[in-house]
Structure 1
Amino acid sequence: MTLQDKLDAMRDDFENGRFPLVPTRDQLDTMQRATQQLIDSGQADHALKAGDTAPDFTLRDADGNSIGSRALLAKGPLVATFYRGVWCPYCNYDLQALEEIRSEIEARGASLVAISPQTPANSRKSQRDNKLGFPILSDAGTAVAAEFGLRFALPDELIAVYSQFGNDLPKINDDPAWVLPMPARYVIGTDGVIAYAEVNPDYTRRPDPSELLPVLDRLRAGIVA
């Protein structure tokens, strides 16, 4: 079963009352409307894409250690995935799927990191619950996500729904702003140029991690495109 198959099954369970949290029809409509508004905004089209230079960043991992993109790129390519947070089940499936191929990514000389606006404590929970062997970096205020063109503000009606679900993002992220990154996955070459980019304003849609491996193979072979 592919990652998207799992996500589709989870979405079907959620929308049809086979999930621990059963949303109302109004809540579902609000969530779907907010996703469509983000799609229609065209913001994803303006995010960084293949061929662009990735911004340098230094963020703290779940244990408070500073991890910089320059140091990682000095060792090899970098796979960076932006995700919403420990509270998002779609994101957790995504992280688990990445963990399944982590050894293949590392065998190709690349590093793998996840980037989220959540606090280090929540990153530790995410790593523990999803049994991850790669670091989750805390992007306070979604500053790095903004540099990649991924940050967006949640509309008021969606904030109300998330609050009803108990997803207190200001507490989870230690940030009063209700902002998130669009889910995205990047492969950055050692020269800092983005070799692969996938950004989706629909958080229920994620590319299969297996797509990363041919990109890393091309980078290892010195093939630019």
Structure 2
Amino acid sequence: MTLQAKLDAFKADFVSGKPPYNAPPHVHAVMKRATDELIASGLADRALKVGDQAPVFTLNDPDGQPVSSAELLSRGPLVVSFYRGVWCPYCNMELQALEQALPSFRELGANLVAISPQVRANSRKSVRQNQLTFPILSDTHNEVAAAFGLRFELPDYLIELYKGFGNDLPTFNDDPSWTLPMPGRFVIAQDGTLLYAEVNPDYTQRPDPSELLPALRG
């Protein structure tokens, strides 16, 4: 089953209200409104694209050790996935799919990192919960996400909904701004050129990791 098929199945169960997903219909309407508005904003169209130069970054892993994109690129191409946080089930399913694809990436000489705005303790939870063997990096204030063109501010009505769910992003991220990255996947060549770029303002839509392989082979 592809990653998107798994995400679609989860979404169908969530929207149906089947246990343990008992959210009332207005919750889904609010989420859809926020997604539709983000799509209409055109922000995704302004994100970095194939052929652009990727920003150079150094971010900390869950143990507080710095991980440098320049150092990783000195060894081979780099796959980068931006995700929202351990609280997002769609993100967790994507991380699990990336873990399954990791041997294929490494066979082609590539490294893989995933980036979220969450604090290191929550990154450790991402690693533990999803049984990951690749680095999870903390992007404080979504600064690297902004450099890739992914950062956006949540509207007030969505903030209120998240608070009702207990998704307290300022605590998760140690950042009062209520910003998130749009989920994005990138393949960076050793010279810093983007060989693959996929950004979707609809967080329920994610490419299968196998779709990145042609860029690595090329």
What range describes the TM-score normalised by the shorter chain of this pair?
over 0.9
Q: Provide, for residues 12-62 of structure 1, a one-character-per-residue CA deviation record: whole Å limited to 9, x for no partner.
A: 010111242421111111110000000000000000010000010000001
User: What is the rounded CA distance, in whole Å, between the counterparts of 1:22 and 1:99 in structure 2?
Assistant: 30
* 2:9 matches 1:9: yes
Q: Which residue of 2 aligns with 1:71?
A: 71
Distance 1:38 1:198, change over 3 A: same
SS of the residue corresponding to residue 101 of structure 1 reads helix
User: What is the rounded CA distance, in whole Å, between the counterparts of 2:118 and 2:18 in structure 1?
Assistant: 28
- The one-letter code matched in structure 1 to 2:10 is M
Q: Which residue of 2 aligns with 1:47?
A: 47
Q: Which residue of 1 aligns with 2:213?
A: 213
Q: CA deviation at 1:155?
A: 0.3
SS of the residue corresponding to residue 166 of structure 2 reads coil
Q: Which residue of 1 aligns with 2:100?
A: 100
SS of the residue corresponding to residue 210 of structure 2 reads helix
Q: CA deviation at 1:8?
A: 0.3
- The one-letter code matched in structure 1 to 2:16 is N
In the superposition, the TM-score normalised over structure 2's length comes to: 0.99
* 2:168 matches 1:173: no
Query: Is the contact between residue 17 and residue 24 of structure 2 (CA under 8 Å) also seen in structure 1?
Result: no
* 2:155 matches 1:143: no
User: What is the rounded CA distance, in whole Å, between the counterparts of 1:63 and 1:21 in structure 2?
Assistant: 34
- The one-letter code matched in structure 2 to 1:108 is L
Give the alignment of 1:102-121 within 5 angstroms: 102-121=102-121
SS of the residue corresponding to residue 36 of structure 2 reads helix
Structure 1 segments of 4+ aligned residues over 6 angstroms from their partners: none
Q: CA deviation at 1:168?
A: 0.5
In the superposition, the TM-score normalised over structure 1's length comes to: 0.96
Q: Which residue of 2 aligns with 1:222?
A: none
User: What is the rounded CA distance, in whole Å, between the counterparts of 2:176 and 2:118 in structure 1?
Assistant: 12
Distance 1:169 1:177, change over 3 A: same
- The one-letter code matched in structure 2 to 1:147 is A
- The one-letter code matched in structure 1 to 2:205 is R
Q: Which residue of 2 aligns with 1:32?
A: 32
Query: How many pairs does the alignment contain?
Result: 218
Q: CA deviation at 1:213?
A: 1.1
- The one-letter code matched in structure 1 to 2:168 is D
Q: Which residue of 2 aligns with 1:221?
A: none
User: What is the rounded CA distance, in whole Å, between the counterparts of 1:35 and 1:60 in structure 2?
Assistant: 30
SS of the residue corresponding to residue 185 of structure 1 reads strand
